Structure 1
Amino acid sequence: MRQSKVYYTNFRTTFQENLLQKLRRLIKTAGMDHIDFEKKYTAIKIHFGEMGNLAYLRPNYAKVVADFVKDMGGKVFLTDCNTLYVGSRKNALDHLDTAYANGFSPFSTGCHVVIADGLKGTDEALVSVEGGEYVKEAKIGQAVMDADIFISLNHFKGHEATGFGGALKNIGMGCGSRAGKMEMHSEGKAEVNQDRCIGCGACIKNCAHSAIQIEKKKAYIEPDKCVGCGRCIGVCPVDATHSGKSDSNDALNKKIAEYSYAVLKDRPHFHISLVVDVSPYCDCHAENDVPIVPDVGMFASFDPVALDMACADAVNRQPVIEGSMLSEMEHHHHDHFTNTHPSTNWKVALEHAQKLGIGNMEYELIQV
């Protein structure tokens, strides 16, 4: 299989070129202007950041991409789908409030924000997944599927269930409606290590499905109510919650790949990842821990699989930041993401996406 091209530039600047100008040069050099945007509806899929989180991408970067599309004649909007868990983005009104509070307004980005799965997360398109191992019909936010062209603008960081969150995570999980997110998370049910649990109730506050109770000062998860979203795993201060099935994270990664297939098939798409503020957890958290490695740079490609692979390789070449979560973990692997979240295997998503024909893990890195 022929290698995919991934274009890269670091975060160094000059008096003649700032970071925003450098991003525009990157996406142009990578060939984004080869797409016919003229009068085409173009969705830029981005994560607006949970309220309280400060690691999400700055809206300035979104404006660069939106302006590029408008300069090419496209009709562009920023988009995301509502969340499955309790938080500040669980319905379109709260989601818009959060997007605006975090700087993603039409005045700062030059384009509108559209919550793709509607007011309550039920506005969805059913998209067949040919060759899907788990998903036969993906539930994708309707506005995403109504767009003629799809662009992902990704914050590359760690993730407690998938190892890292990059292009595929932003596309697959991010574009799933609330029902779609539930389908992707449904393989594994969380469990509580009673010896570790301190009964603080943090998990209860973050469970959208009333699946957790405190009994004798210990948390207990009712498996019939649990949808496997993993939110309780991320918020537990003593790591008492964990996935009950050893293969559940692998299944989640494969479902994300299958949802990504549904989003991308049969239309032009392009992908941009910024490896900056590489926090150990997803931007869906209402907080962000310190980065685990130094900032790396900006990457762009027509191939989201190659893009994720290139970003992962770049992160794994970086030194560990002292005082970060990663510096406190035992380093049994030559892989920062596996060391940060030992129960995950991020390569599963990329391998499955390659099998589905989304892209290629082999890449040529071209420095801009």
Structure 2
Amino acid sequence: MKKSKVYFTDMRCTFNNNLLQKLERLIRKAGIETIDFDNKFTAIKLHFGEPGNLAFLRPNYAAVLAGVVKELGGRPFLTDCNTLYVGGRKNALDHIDAAYQNGFSPLSTGCHVIIADGLKGTDEALIPVEKGEYVKEAKIGRAVMDADILITLNHFKGHEATGFGGALKNIGMGCGSRAGKMEMHSAGKPFVYQKTCIGCGRCVEICAHDAPQIIDRLAAIDQNKCVGCGRCIGVCPKDAVQPAGDESFDILNKKIAEYSWAVLHGRPHFHVSLVVDVSPYCDCHSENDVPIVPDVGMFASFDPVALDMACVDAVNRQPVMAGSLLAEREHHHHDHFTNVTPETNWRVGLDHAVKLGLGTMDYELIEL
């Protein structure tokens, strides 16, 4: 496979060339205009930021993408799927509140916010994964799959389970419904934390396999009957139903790649990554730490694998930020992400994505 083109611009500005203008120039040079947007629904997939976290990308960047898509005749909307964990984005109402709180509104971005997997994270499309080793049928937020075109806007950062979070993480994990996220994170099936269970029976009502049962006024899940769909997690009013969360990090990375294949296969897609505020952990945390390296710049490509690889290389060329978690770690590796979370191996995910045909790690960096 020949090298993929990855376009890059730094964060330096002049009196007549600000960051938003640089981003627009970047995506046009990278070829976004070659996509036929004419009257097509265009999902702009991003992370709205967990309330309390301030490392998420500013909505101004999303507004640039939405503006270009509309100029080219498309019908953009901002989207993400609900979270598996308990937090500020577990259902669509809270999720939209979080998006608005962090500045992602129609007034600021020029397009609407749609939570792709519905009110409780159960509105999903089932997509066969032809080459899947671990996932045979991906569970993707329906609005993502209803879109004609997918654009991703990624905050490139560290991650405690996958090593880093970039384009593939935003696509694969981010577009999974609640059941999809549970499939990626878990080798096992959900269980009931009975100290918070109130025995309301909503898990019993939602299950098509009679797995949850009310015993002595508390719910319990029959693991032999459970198929791991995760619907009981979405309906529990006390967050008593919990995912197993016991999948190995390597398999997690491979499942993310397979989910990414399900999302991208057969339709136009384009990807933008901003390597700024490179926090050591995910934006799903309700806090963010000191960036581990200085801000690098903005990258764009049609190839999400090459894009992630280019961003990794760029981060690894940076000096360690004083006072950061990375500065406190022992540097046994020539890789910042491995030094932050040595128990992870991010290369597994990229290797698997290449195997699936999602792209290549060989890239040509074109600097603007």
Instruction: Sort the TM-score into its range (normalised by shorter chain).
Output: 0.7 to 0.9
Q: Which moved more, 1:113-122 or 1:179-188?
A: 179-188
Q: Match of 1:347, as an amino acid? A: R
RMSD: 2.2
1:244 to 1:209, Cα distance in 2 relative to 1, 3 A:
closer
Aligned residue runs from structure 1 range 105-144, under 5 A: 105-144=105-144
Deviation at 1:210, TM superposition (A): 2.8
Q: C-alpha deviations, 1:89-133, integer Å up to 9, x for none?
A: 000000000000000000000000000000000000000101101
Give the corresponding residue for 1:12: 12
Distance in 2 between the 1:7 and 1:146 partners? 28
After superposition, the C-alpha distances for 1:302-357 in whole angstroms (9 at most, x for unaligned) are 00000000000000000001110011111110000000001100011111000000
**Structure 1: runs of 5 or more not aligned:** 190-206, 214-223, 230-242
SS at match of 1:253: helix
Residue 44 of structure 2 aligns to a residue whose secondary structure is strand
| C-alpha distance in structure 2 between counterparts of 1:341 and 1:181, whole Å | 21
CA distance in 1, matches of 2:55, 2:78: 18
Matches within 5 A, 1:67-146: 67-146=67-146
Secondary structure of 1:298's aligned partner: strand
Q: 1:208 to 1:304 in 2, by over 3 A?
A: farther
- 1:179-206 per-position Cα deviation (integer Å, ceiling 9, x unaligned): 00000001389xxxxxxxxxxxxxxxxx
Contact kept? 2:66, 2:110, Cα under 8 Å: yes
CA distance 1:144–1:345, change in 2 (3 Å) = same
Measure, in 1, the Cα distance between the counterparts of 2:139 and 2:192: 20
Q: Which residue of 189, 193, 202 maps to 1:210?
A: 193
Structure 1 counterpart of 2:364, which letter?
E
Which residue identity is paired with 2:24? R
Residues 91 and 120, structure 1, Cα contact 8 Å, conserved in 2: yes
Per the normalisation by structure 1, the TM-score is 0.85
The alpha-carbon distance between structure 1 residues 100 and 354, as it changes in their structure 2 partners (threshold 3 A), is: same
- Alignment match, 2:334: 334
> What SS does structure 2 have at the residue aligned with 1:284?
coil
Deviation at 1:16, TM superposition (A): 1.3
**Residue pairs, 1:227-306, within 5 angstroms:** 248-306=248-306
CA distance in 2, matches of 1:107, 1:3: 40
1:43 partner SS:
strand
The corresponding residue for 1:184 is 184
Q: Which residue is 2:367 aligned to?
A: 367
Q: Post-superposition shift, 1:211?
A: 8.3
- Amino acid in structure 1 at the alignment position of 2:193: S
Shift of 1:208: 9.8
**1:102–1:135 distance in 2 versus 1, CA, 3 Å:** same
Structure 2 unpaired stretches of 5+: 197-222, 231-243
Aligned residue in 1 for 2:219: none
Q: Taking structure 1 as reference, are residues 102 and 136 closer, same or farther at Cα in structure 2, changes over 3 Å only? A: same
Q: Deviations over 1:26-82 (max 9, x none)?
A: 000000010000100000000000000000000000000000000000000000000
| Structure 1 Cα separation of the partners of residues 269 and 187 of structure 2 | 29
Q: Which residue of 2 aligns with 1:234?
A: none
Distance 1:209 1:59, change over 3 A: farther
Q: Encode CA deviations 1:111-162: one digit per residue, 9 max, x unaligned.
A: 0000000000000000010110100000000000000000000000000000
Partners of 1:140 and 1:125 lie apart in 2 by: 5
Between the aligned partners of 2:278 and 2:92, the Cα distance in structure 1 is 27
Percent sequence identity over aligned pairs: 75
Name the count of aligned residue pairs: 326
Q: Residues of 2 paired with 1:59 and 1:156: CA distance?
A: 16
Partners of 1:277 and 1:175 in 2: CA distance:
23
Amino acid at match of 1:111: C
